Amino acid sequence: MRLNLRRFDFVLLGATLVLVVFGVAMVYSATLGVPTYEDYPLRQTIYALLGLLLLLAAAAFDYRLLTTFQWPVYALILLALGAVTILGQVRGGASGWFDAGIIFVQPAEISKVLFAVVFAQYLASRHDRLGKPQWVVGAFVLMALPAVLIYLQPDLGNAIVLLVIGAVMLFVADLPWGYILGSVAAGALAMPLIYANLHGYMKERIDIFLDPTSNPDASFNIAQALISIGNGGVLGKGFGEGSQSQLHFLRVRYADFIFSVIAEELGFLGAVALIIMLTIVLWRLITIADQARDQFGRLLVVGVTAMIMFQVVVSIGMNLGLLPVTGITLPFISYGGSSLLTLMIGIGLAESVAMRNRKIEFD
């Protein structure tokens, strides 16, 4: 155990904890003066403490034992996603939550890290045969089933995140270029059909992104986000002093648009500091993946890295008006119990891989 602890990535843990604490502080600032949200900072603190326990538990657990539970875990993912689509509580227009009494559980969030576990084992166990059509088809089916169930809630954002996790893992697993280029071409050709079958609000978000003047009322929040970021300047207006958030012009400011709150209150320097901390987390994850002792551990950490990186890019991009609004949260910062717990479990699994990146040697 002493040898394992020497390989524990304390830089990754430290950067993660800094982000989580900072996230709680910003949720507090974003919800000031709103009675409906007054318990959000306390809830996020509880999620953070529980997440830390799950992180340490996942790190202590030997990740290699997860290979035994590949198919039961996948069945659990499909069962939970199917059940919540039919029986889940509707929040924000999607039936994606189970009411657990104390907290709301969002299976779509938890399924992302569980899918990374399942897919890593699938690809690792077939690494030398991945060029055969049957295994490639099997991989796409494994990706498609949970993604479709998430979309049906409807939750396009998390469905895309899961597909991106799978796509990045396939790429790192050395999927032949013919399949990669074929998949990209097929996806591009299918875009008009996919767009035509999207839910109305999903189409509206894409239309607003392409032409904000097409619906000024619906594009209001994007405009307010850009105003918030512009108001911040270099040093910001001060913690809890953002006009757009404190005067409640900015909606969903504790989750989807929390980056705009940060940019307004802490300025350009605060936003850059946040991006640097997120980059440190991603750098340490990439290092752990590179040093992993086996293909399963490597791909597992790649899946966690892809999840965090994609969500960071999309969340910040939509706050800047560079990407359509998707409802994807900013990792470790946005309010949300299921999201934070999923991320902490992912970091814990990466730590488990880091501590076991070599065979134990006996002197």
- The answer to whether 255 touches 291, Cβ cutoff 8 Å, is no
The helix-helix angle for 258-291 and 220-232 (nearest 10°) equals 80
For residue 104, the cross-strand partners are 99
Rg of the chain in Å (alpha carbons) = 21
Per-residue pLDDT 10s for the chain (363 aa) are 444 678 899 999 999 999 999 999 999 998 888 888 889 999 999 999 999 999 999 999 999 999 999 999 999 999 999 988 787 666 655 556 676 656 677 889 999 999 999 999 999 998 888 888 999 999 999 999 999 999 988 888 899 999 999 999 999 999 998 989 998 899 888 888 888 878 777 787 887 877 777 776 667 778 888 888 888 899 889 888 887 777 777 777 888 889 999 999 999 999 999 999 999 999 999 999 999 999 999 999 999 999 999 999 999 999 998 888 887 899 999 998 899 999 999 999 999 999 987 654 333
Phi, psi torsion values for 236, nearest 5 degrees = 85, 170
pLDDT of residue 326: 81
Which token pair is 44? 């996020």
Instruction: Render the burial of 323-335: b for 16+ CB within 10 Å, e for the rest.
Output: ebbbbbbbbbbbb
Q: How far apart are CA 334 and CA 247, in angstroms?
A: 19
pLDDT of residue 362: 35
- The answer to whether 30 touches 253, Cβ cutoff 8 Å, is yes
pLDDT of residue 79: 94
**Residue from 25, 16, 17 nearest 239 by CA:** 25
pLDDT of residue 1: 41
Rounded to two decimals, the pTM is 0.91
Q: How far apart are CA 307 and CA 290, in angstroms?
A: 17
For the chain, what's the residue count? 363
pLDDT of residue 89: 66
Count of CB atoms situated within 10 Å of the CB of 194: 10
